[in-house]
Structure 1
Amino acid sequence: MEYQLSKSEGTDPVFYGVYEGTHRAFTVSELKPLTKYRFRLRWRPEDTDQWSSEYKECSGTTEDETAALKAVRNIQMTLVNGDGAATMALIERHKADLHIEARDRYDRTLLMLACQYATGNVVQCLMNLGPDVKAATRSGKTAISFAVTYGNLEAVRILLDFDEALVNQRDQGGSTILMWAAENAHANKQGHTIVELLLSRGANVQAVDNAGQTALDRIAVLNGHAPTAQLLIKHGGLLRLTPDRKQPMTTLMTAALNGHVQLVRCLLADYDVPYAVANERGATALTYASSGDHTSVIKAIRDHMDKKVARAPAADAATGATAASTTKA
């Protein structure tokens, strides 16, 4: 069962969504003190796409901010500001009555914020209070999603040590933790190391999302980070060599289309992927590079083509010499 909660403030007739998901308990944050609110709850069974026409409604007036709510707000602020010492002091002071699952306006729990902004000791401090490590935002992102996206290696280790199954967790779009890590490997100092860690802990390198893309496909589309691509291929990542109706682009075509020259050079030099293969539209990797006016990619492909052509006569000559020697013998 899925639930949809919306709220209306004061006399405003319009209701605004505040939560949509499967959790039966949800903390609504960012409410103004001494303000009247109305809430409506709808539901949707798993076997239908339609929300119920009926709904339950309740109303109430908030009190002045409690000490517990103020503590949550202060911890959220110190986390975002990267003040680990202040965060840990606040957690220690309020741990007896801290709303550990409270969320900010972007639907992030305290643990998610720590995985995005804080060091490992702060993450562990929150973990000691027993948060829900599988709690998700409306888009399906969890604490470990934030950790890999923002390159928090310590947080990733802590979460995997707590629950190894998190390594293959998926969001609503079918994206795995490895996909998020690969997508952001180029943007963080620890990004490549995080991918290594996930693979060593059993991440499924061939998993596909709802669009049929793998972690390696994400790199070919988004960042072209050759070292991480090599790492994924080494661990069994699917290198697309021929197009088909389901996947009309090879890995080389995708990298060429998006102008990732380092990845293009890597695929050609290290894996000798076929550069002349065409899809149903008759387009090759060179076609896609030209369509995007990626001059460095065009040059890389043509240089590789020239080397292949130059090596061909030498190979033919060597074959001929061997044949002649055999005939004389």
Structure 2
Amino acid sequence: MTTPPLLPTPTLAKIYARTAQASWPVPAQNSPWTRFQLSVTDDLEPRWEIAYEGASASTEVRDLKPETRYRLRLRAAVPGMADGVWGKEAVEVFFVTTDESLNVRLTAQILRAVGINDAVAVDALLSEHAAQISLETRDRYGKTLLMIACQTGTPEIVNKLLRAGASANATTRSGKTPLSLACSTINLATATALLAFDPTTVDSADSGGSTPLMWAVENAGTTQKGVDLVTLLLSHGAAVDREDATRKTALDRLCACTTGGNVAVAALLVQAGARIVRTPSKRNPMSTLMVAAMNGHLDLCVALVDRWRCDPRVVTEHGGTARSFAASAGHVHVATVLEERVKIWSHDELAP
């Protein structure tokens, strides 16, 4: 009669408040066991619950309670046993979980590491304490670790968090995703990392209907990085004419913001098929040119007239023109240039 093999004794590592890592030695070849069952019970509620069943020789025991004494029992099946049938032999070990304060300390540490862009510390914390760190932990402003990294961090930290399981679809209280936050700060590197990981977030809209593209064009300023970010979003299929809650598209937002007016960004949008409002209507009371003029974007106004053939003589229902809107807002130079364009268009129209 063959003597049944002695079961290995489980060892516990990385014991924390709510998880513990269990493993047991198994021969790399010719193992006498085909499957293992790991069960757990505590002294307060002595009822065995299955923590793991399978062929692996290690597992993470989850859903534990802090500062609690547990008993772990390992059983195994040998070749020929039917599914659900286990050997009579069992090996038990005891362990005690830690208090919850460790989780709090680790959370504070990784929030600080992400905040100061310490990739080495982030990597060490995730490598050693991934089970104790909630990747969806939020700071006092309601931002997750990934959101913080996307705004002011590096792609290295963003990729570490994404690989560890951080959600690219988590939102702030106002509905902004990590990608929208990256675009708000024109962080091209982190936006690139996010889209490489999950391109489906490219049109994620917040509670006001604003998409990453809208935030990018509004904050692009005159920088090349802003142009490159808009190029990136469009290359991933960003919807160029999607409207926010106030019916503004990305081009509308570019014209309307006081720090916008980037002609290179406008050219990218128009090339991608962006709608130019040439004539005011009930839906759009002002033309694209009028909005740009009212906000003092001289170069953009010139491009709209000379390059994209927006008529500077168009009037609103109440008689307003691009020139008058610029003048009333104090943009005298814009008004002067538009007046010159009005004369040119009128002359060309009268020319034989």
Q: TM-score range by the shorter chain?
A: 0.7 to 0.9
Query: C-alpha separation between the residues in 2 aligned to 1:65 and 1:167?
Result: 38
2:317 counterpart of 1:299: no
Q: State the shift of 1:209 in Å.
A: 0.9
Larger radius of gyration: 2
- Partner secondary structure for residue 320 of structure 2: coil
8 A contact 1:116–1:146 mirrored in 2: yes
Percent sequence identity over matched residues? Answer: 38
The one-letter code of the counterpart of 1:170 is: A
Structure 1 residues 113-262: aligned runs within 5 Å:
113-186=148-221, 189-222=224-257, 223-262=260-299
Q: State the shift of 1:138 in Å.
A: 0.7
- Out of 71, 85, 92, the position equivalent to 2:120 is 85
Q: Which runs of 5+ in 2 are unaligned?
A: 1-98
Q: Deviations over 1:123-166 (max 9, x none)?
A: 00001111221111110011111111112223222222222221
Q: Deviations over 1:293-322 (max 9, x none)?
A: 101111220222333355556x42xxxxxx
- Alpha carbon RMSD of aligned pairs, Å? 2.0
The one-letter code of the counterpart of 2:290 is: M
Q: Deviations over 1:229-249 (max 9, x none)?
A: 111011000111000011101
Q: State the shift of 1:210 in Å.
A: 1.1
Q: Which runs of 5+ in 1 are unaligned?
A: 1-63, 317-329
The answer to which structure has the higher helix fraction is 1
Greater Cα shift, 145-154 or 209-218: 145-154
Counterpart of 2:17 in structure 1 is none
The one-letter code of the counterpart of 2:208 is: G
Greater Cα shift, 161-170 or 125-134: 161-170
Counterpart of 1:76 in structure 2 is 111
Q: Deviations over 1:282-303 (max 9, x none)?
A: 1111110111110111122022
- Partner secondary structure for residue 233 of structure 2: helix
8 A contact 1:221–1:258 mirrored in 2: yes
The one-letter code of the counterpart of 2:107 is: V
Query: C-alpha separation between the residues in 2 aligned to 1:156 and 1:188?
Result: 16
- Partner secondary structure for residue 317 of structure 2: coil
Counterpart of 1:275 in structure 2 is 312
The one-letter code of the counterpart of 1:160 is: L
Greater Cα shift, 218-227 or 188-197: 188-197
TM-score (norm 2): 0.68
Counterpart of 2:129 in structure 1 is 94
Q: State the shift of 1:185 in Å.
A: 1.5
8 A contact 1:224–1:262 mirrored in 2: yes
8 A contact 1:150–1:188 mirrored in 2: no
Query: C-alpha separation between the residues in 1 aligned to 2:211 and 2:339?
Result: 36
Counterpart of 2:144 in structure 1 is 109
Counterpart of 2:101 in structure 1 is 66
Query: C-alpha separation between the residues in 1 aligned to 2:140 and 2:222?
Result: 25
TM-score (norm 1): 0.72
Q: Deviations over 1:233-270 (max 9, x none)?
A: 11000111000011101000001111111211111121
Q: Deviations over 1:69-119 (max 9, x none)?
A: 222222222322233333333333322321111000000000101101211
Greater Cα shift, 189-198 or 272-281: 189-198
